[in-house]
């Protein structure tokens, strides 16, 4: 999700839901969702019938699903019936849950049919686009699916999903997976059925319903790529979104097979600049004219591997989604346009990290975070997470880095991982002990603050470069330095370190970190 460049457009919006750690001892593991949703143009009421197939992880007499109840303003979902095998079950609704009374033994599989309706408070954005045309767009990140879908609204519970959307016939519908049915219904309506067999977290399950112009710019590697844009933007949108056919195969070659059977890139009306919904990425309305569309699309397409196929086990590990997408987009741009492009982007990202730390000093893996969900989308998760991956790449080398990334994807595709899981995979790929590296960059707040001075030895024709770490505890890192055009690389572990190198004159040309490989500040 590319929040940093574009979410400022939506700054007044605030989420009240705060971060919740993964709940230990979950009762169920959802295997499959089947959501039948009816939309209309007369009002914003949606009618839903959800069939939820779940495996019980332990014996239980009841279990909970997330669903926002109708509030005092009349918005929210009201459950009208709940059945298993045609038999009505007792249930209760509180503000954010449906509690279902049912007897189940550990390991048993059950399917429940929940009938409900209401006006979504969030999650499904019913609005009008910039051309004043009515639109419906799912927008579930992070745990906003509960506002229109009964579900286990946490990334650790992944399931396959179907959407059966009944809507006025003039709309086109896009969703996760493949379209398996589209047929007219009486009353000038239409049923569209999409099905995704891969396991997804609810945060990336969506529908998009609007008057779309649709094109297919190509099928790289056999994966069909589609463009969905508003008809008024058809010419520019088809052209700008077509770059996806170049981005997708680059990541496939580097990381591994694409997890989904199609990739749709969709002009939308939601709150984010880009949202990585699995196989159906949503972009903000004006993205079709965005000069940075290639970078934005690279970020969101990278998410299909990191965040979608591999999801974080709990929210404090969100950098595994956003940091990966940030750095993978940078790597794509480096591979496409050269090393200087990467250096420029890293230098800019580094300044964003330092600016953010002045406002909020915390580790990337922030287990004590108490803010709103939206506040987790910050420079720690994006730019610093990306920088950590860059330094890891430089530490273990390109070959081991890409081998580790591919192995990480192969091992956790369709499941969940946390930071320690990544560390183990990268240690195996590189043969190096990376625990200290992960601890200092991801579980420690701040960064190295360096003061570097030098003096010249006339007799020895050498220059002594003094590296002093100004923060309380020393970091361990590699520092590159160019002296008269020759590059040196030193391992620094102490608060004060000196290295001497040959120099032809008393005024050598010295450049610290010339290749932008260290996340540090350099004091004069």
Q: To the nearest 10°, report the CA torsion of 310, 313, 317, 319.
A: 20
Please give the radius of gyration of the chain, using alpha carbons only, rounded to the nearest integer.
25
| pLDDT tens, position by position, 441-457 | 999 999 999 999 999 99
pLDDT tops 50 at residue 296: yes
Q: How high does pLDDT run on average in the chain?
A: 94
| pLDDT exceeds cutoff 70 at 331 | yes
Query: What pLDDT does residue 60 have?
Result: 96
Q: If residue 510 lies in a helix (H) or strand (E), which one and from where to where?
A: strand 510-512
Q: What percent of the chain has pLDDT over 90?
A: 91
342-347-353 Cα angle (round to 5): 120
Sequence-distant (6+) residues with CB within 8 A of 36 are 48, 49, 50, 51, 164, 166
User: The whole model's pTM is what?
Assistant: 0.94
User: Does 14 have pLDDT greater than 50?
Assistant: no
Give the H or E element holding residue 32: strand 28-38
Please write the tens of the pLDDT for every residue from 145-170.
Answer: 999 999 999 999 999 999 999 999 99
Nearest to 270 by CA among 261, 281, 262, 260: 281
Confidence of residue 2 (pLDDT cuts 50, 70, 90): low
pLDDT surpasses 80 at 8: no
The whole-angstrom separation of Cα 12 and Cα 36 is 32
140 burial via Cβ count (<10 Å: 0-12, 13-18, 19+) = buried
**pLDDT tens digits, one per residue of 113-140:** 999 999 999 999 999 999 999 999 999 9
C-alpha 292/C-alpha 274 separation (Å) is 12
Distance CA(94)–CA(19), nearest Å, equals 19
Confidence of residue 6 (pLDDT cuts 50, 70, 90): very low
pLDDT at 95 over 90: no
Residue 275 CA, chain-centre distance (Å), reads 8
**Which pair of tokens denotes residue 146?**
């509960």
Cβ-proximal residues to 62 (8 Å cutoff; 6+ apart), any chain: 99, 100, 101, 102
pLDDT tens-digit readout, 346-404: 999 999 999 999 999 999 999 888 888 888 899 999 999 999 999 999 999 999 999 99
* Average pLDDT rounded to a whole number, residues 420-447: 98
pLDDT 10s digits, 454-477 = 999 988 899 999 999 999 999 999
The pLDDT of residue 479 is above 60: yes
Q: Express each pLDDT in 207-266 by its tens digit.
A: 999 999 999 999 999 999 999 999 999 999 999 999 999 999 999 999 999 999 999 999
Answer yes or no: are the C-beta atoms of 146 and 20 closer than 8 Å: no
3-state DSSP helix/strand/coil % of the chain, to nearest 5 = 30, 35, 35
Q: Which helix (H) or strand (E) holds 344?
A: helix 339-359
Question: Which residues lie below 8 Å from residue 71, measured CB to CB, with a gap of 6+?
Answer: 95, 121
Token reading at 517? 């490989």
Residue 429 contacts residue 407 (beta carbons within 8 Å): yes
Mean pLDDT of the region 67-77: 95
> Sign of torsion, CA 293 294 297 303?
negative
- 21 — pLDDT class (breaks 50, 70, 90): very low
Of 13-17, 45-49, 302-306, 436-440, the least confident? 13-17
User: pLDDT at position 20, please?
Assistant: 39
Going along the chain from its start, the domains and CATH numbers come out as 7-14+25-303 (2.60.40.1730), 311-442 (1.10.390.10), 449-523 (2.60.40.1840)
Question: What angle, rounded to 10 degrees, do the helices at 244-254 and 319-337 form?
Answer: 110
For residue 66, what pLDDT is reported?
98
């Amino acid at each position: 999700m590319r929040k940093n460049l574009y979410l400022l457009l939506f700054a007044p919006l605030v989420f009240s839901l705060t971060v919740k750690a993964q709940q230990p001892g979950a009762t169920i593991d959802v295997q499959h969702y089947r959501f039948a949703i009816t939309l209309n143009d007369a009002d914003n009421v949606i009618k839903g019938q959800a069939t939820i197939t779940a495996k019980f992880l332990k014996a239980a007499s009841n279990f909970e699903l997330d669903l926002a109840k109708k509030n005092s303003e009349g918005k929210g979902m009201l459950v009208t019936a709940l059945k298993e095998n045609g038999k009505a079950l007792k249930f209760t609704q509180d503000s954010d849950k449906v509690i279902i009374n049912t007897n189940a033994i550990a390991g048993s599989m059950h399917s429940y049919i929940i009938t409900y309706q209401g006006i979504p408070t969030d999650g499904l954005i019913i609005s009008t686009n910039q051309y004043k045309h009515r639109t419906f767009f799912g927008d579930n990140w992070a745990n906003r699916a509960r506002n229109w879908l009964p579900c286990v609204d946490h990334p650790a519970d992944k399931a396959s999903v179907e959407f059966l959307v009944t809507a006025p016939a003039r709309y086109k519908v896009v969703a996760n997976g493949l379209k398996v049915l589209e047929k007219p219904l009486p009353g000038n309506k239409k049923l569209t059925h999409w099905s995704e067999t891969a396991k997804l977290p609810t945060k990336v399950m969506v529908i998009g319903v609007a008057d779309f112009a649709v094109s297919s710019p190509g099928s790289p590697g056999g994966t069909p790529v589609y463009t969905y844009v508003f008809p008024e933007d058809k010419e520019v949108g088809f052209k700008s979104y077509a770059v996806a056919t170049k981005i997708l195969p680059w990541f496939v070659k580097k990381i591994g097979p694409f997890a989904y059977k199609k990739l749709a890139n969709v002009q939308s009306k939601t709150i984010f600049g880009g949202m990585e919904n699995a196989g159906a990425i949503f972009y903000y309305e004006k993205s079709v004219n965005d000069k940075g569309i290639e970078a934005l699309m690279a970020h969101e397409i990278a998410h299909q591997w990191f965040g979608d196929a591999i999801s974080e086990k709990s929210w404090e590990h969100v950098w595994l989604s956003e940091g990966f997408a940030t750095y993978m987009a940078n790597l794509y741009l480096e591979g496409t346009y050269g090393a200087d492009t990467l250096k420029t982007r890293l230098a800019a990202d580094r300044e964003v990290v330092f600016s953010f730390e002045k406002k909020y000093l915390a580790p990337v893996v922030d287990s004590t975070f108490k803010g709103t969900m939206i506040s987790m989308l910050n420079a720690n998760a994006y730019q610093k997470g990306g920088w950590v991956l860059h330094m890891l790449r430089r530490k273990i080398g390109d070959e081991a880095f890409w081998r580790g990334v591919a192995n990480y994807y192969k091992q956790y595709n369709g499941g969940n991982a946390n930071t320690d899981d990544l560390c183990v995979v990268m240690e195996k790929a590189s043969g190096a002990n990376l625990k200290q590296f992960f601890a200092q960059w991801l579980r420690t707040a701040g960064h190295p603050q360096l003061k570097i001075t030098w003096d010249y030895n006339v007799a020895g024709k050498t220059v002594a470069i003094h590296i002093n770490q100004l923060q309380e505890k020393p970091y361990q890192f590699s520092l590159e330095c160019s002296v008269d055009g020759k590059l040196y690389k030193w391992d620094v572990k102490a608060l004060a370190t000196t290295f001497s190198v040959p120099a032809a004159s008393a005024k050598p040309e010295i450049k610290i970190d010339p290749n932008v490989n260290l996340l540090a500040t350099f004091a004069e």
